Structure 1
Amino acid sequence: MAVPKGKKSYSKKRMGQAHYGLKVMLGMKCPQCGEIKRPHNLCGSCGYYNKKSIV
């Protein structure tokens, strides 16, 4: 079976995980109330999604 030959240093481990960091969250304006909301999600302030009142 494949086994790592030696211990991976802290720096090499972190370099391999560099692309796992948090991404910048996109925000868009709600067409109903103008508040910033996440795309493809219900608006938290007015409760609209896809031009329909859900809440």
Structure 2
Amino acid sequence: MAHPKRRHSSTRRDKRRTHDNLTVKQLATDATTGEVHLYHRAHVHEGNLYYRGKLVVENYKANA
């Protein structure tokens, strides 16, 4: 097994870990339906597909 000859500084370690944190998903509330959904995603409400507050597809089946 390889072992480091010199100790890595805490700054170097922390620079490597800058991208390891988790981010909270952005949620939006549709003005038309009041449904909470992910930003930039279409969502189903009462069997209809909505995007940006507009009805896109009527009688949409999510499992189709």
Which band: TM-score by shorter chain?
0.5 to 0.7
TM-score, length of structure 2 as denominator length: 0.50
- Aligned equivalents of 2:19 and 2:56: distance in 1? 38
- Aligned equivalents of 2:20 and 2:43: distance in 1? 28
Gaps of 5+ in 2: none
Give the aligned length: 47
Larger radius of gyration: 2
- Aligned equivalents of 1:30 and 1:17: distance in 2? 36
TM-score, length of structure 1 as denominator length: 0.55
Identity %: 23
- The structure with the largest strand share of the pair is 2
Q: CA RMSD in A?
A: 2.7
Gaps of 5+ in 1: 1-5
